Structure 1
Amino acid sequence: MVTLVQIFQIIGYKNSGKTTLTCQFIKELSKRNLRVASLKHHGHGGLPLGIQNTDSEKHRQAGSIISGVIGEHILQLSTDNWQLTQLIKIYEIMHIDVLILEGFKHEDFPKIVLISDERDLRLLHQLTNVQAVLSTLPQNLNEVDAVIFQKNNTTELIQWYCNLLGY
């Protein structure tokens, strides 16, 4: 897939700080006058809040290929089979510069991985295209072929990645 949008992922287990880091990136990139968008994978099972028992969900269940509702500046779409490539195309229509994916760990976009404890290290063996690691672990992660940042150093990580993106 060819895209002009810069896309990168923030990956980590639940409560590892993904959303906090994503918000920090959005604020910094927006300060640089970039059009930033985000897409979060709801990987915890079940429907995201706000979908169940809605008219648009009833439309989808009745057979609508895609069902949408808009109100108060919020557009909500549902379908039985979203593909990430389709979602990226929807985002591209908005003429964004940067898309931050929170989750979608099995995709091959450049990744920043959050490591909170030793159990999280297995992520590094499951993922592709890891560019940076943000870790609370005191030991050196020598076996990782990525730039390592300590968890309390998000400003340096964000600056490094902005430079990498050319911003």
Structure 2
Amino acid sequence: MRIIQIAGYKNSGKTTLSTRIIKMFTETGLKVGSLKHHGHGGIPLGFSDTDSEQHRKAGAMFAGVEGEGVFQFTAPDLRVEQLIDFYAFMKMDVLVVEGFKEKPFPKLVLLSEEKERRLLDRVENVKAVVSPFSFGSAAVLPTFKRDETAALLAWLKQDMIDNKSEYEWK
């Protein structure tokens, strides 16, 4: 199973991008799962009008959400690695992980404001950045603007094919 993680601060476009990635891989015939970190307080129970429901509608065979120690399937004290093992057990080809910034999975980082650049110093295994501002000649990672979603998706699809082992869950 290959993993791509979407990281960014609140309202940075994580769910919108996650949904597009899920749809892209689903349309290519892959089995796609999603795992979302619910970091906004409260227990993430319920299904209607939620981000995980958007993931399901986009084609995720399993759409889970975790927050404050509660996974949508309700299991206490699960580590994210155990949750990912669940998706691997369910034979997903691709898992889109939204949130869990501190985890070392291959990730796309979404930035909304210049001051959010500090996130790039706090996370590891960044594959590309989506940002409204330019990094100019200092860019060492592939960087896309928000309106370049098609280019980002094409790049991601190719990178996950060319560098498959970097994305595989071990």
TM-score (norm 1): 0.78
Paired AA for residue 103 in structure 1 = G
Listed as ranges, the gaps of 5+ residues in structure 2 are: 48-61, 65-71, 163-170
% identical aligned pairs: 43
Listed as ranges, the gaps of 5+ residues in structure 1 are: 52-72
The residue aligned with 2:43 is 47
| CA RMSD, Structure 1 to Structure 2 (Å) | 2.1
Give the Å deviation of 1:8: 1.3
The residue aligned with 2:74 is 78
Q: 1:163 aligns with which of 155, 158, 166?
A: 158
Give the Å deviation of 1:77: 1.9
TM-score (norm 2): 0.76
Q: Distance in 2 between matches of 1:74 and 1:19?
A: 12
The residue aligned with 1:148 is 143
CA pair 46-152 structure 1, distance change in 2 beyond 3 A? same
Paired AA for residue 158 in structure 1 = L
Please identify the structure whose Cα radius of gyration is greater: 1
Within 5 A, what are the aligned runs for 1:65-104? 76-104=72-100
Secondary structure of the residue aligned to 1:145 is coil
The residue aligned with 2:27 is 31
Give the Å deviation of 1:108: 0.6
Higher helix share: 2
CA pair 82-32 structure 1, distance change in 2 beyond 3 A? same
Pairs aligned (count): 141
Paired AA for residue 96 in structure 1 = M
Give CA-to-partner distance per residue, 1:17-51, whole Å, 9 cap, x none: 00000010011111111111110000112211339
CA pair 146-77 structure 1, distance change in 2 beyond 3 A? same
